[in-house]
Amino acid sequence: MLSKESKIRVLENFYALDYVFFGKPLKKVDSCCPLVKEDYLSIKGALMSVYVEMLKMTEHNPDAIEERASSKLLLNNARVAAKSAREAASQVVKTERARADIKQELKLSIQEGEDVDIPNLIEYKIREKAFRLAVDNVMVARMLTEAANVYALNEWSGKIVEDSYKILRDNLCETANLILDSDE
């Protein structure tokens, strides 16, 4: 059973993901494809379900919240967390290791596709890497700082949950990119 504070963290992260990707709530994002938005919401819901399992496994134990949680407070906390995560991701993407990872992903993508628009592919891969880092920062980094048992994810069942998280995170980032590309 999750504590009230953990449930609030889940809600904050649910909203924060939209701010990470779009800088605003999903309902304010114009998109030509409502089905892609539906996919995004489905994947986000599945990701949050896996995230709840991660919270339970790690015995999530955030500080007690004395004030009453309102939607305004949740949205404000989500914006702050997303902004911080985006800034941190931006710094990491500029490192040599991240550049090497992106170059490797580009090589694989170029080998798979015959007719590839290189400048757009580069932009897409950089954005995708930044999104993955920002999502991890919002959800996992914060969770681990508030967890009583951080090593639970190193166990067999923890690795399965973590792999599920990564798959859903990557799918969510791809879908967010589709929404952003259709918005242009």
The tally of domains found in the chain comes to 1
Torsion of CA 81, 82, 84, 86, to 10 degrees: 160
- The boundaries of the domain holding residue 108 are 4-183
60 three-state secondary structure = strand
pTM of the model: 0.88
Measured torsion, CA atoms of residues 122, 125, 131, 133, in degrees rounded to the nearest 10: -110
Neighbours of 124 (CB within 10 A): 18
Assigned token pair, 176: 């967010």
Q: pLDDT tens digits, residue range 72-104? A: 888 999 999 999 999 999 999 888 888 888 888
Residue 99: predicted pLDDT: 85
- Cβ–Cβ contacts within 10 Å for residue 137, how many? 21
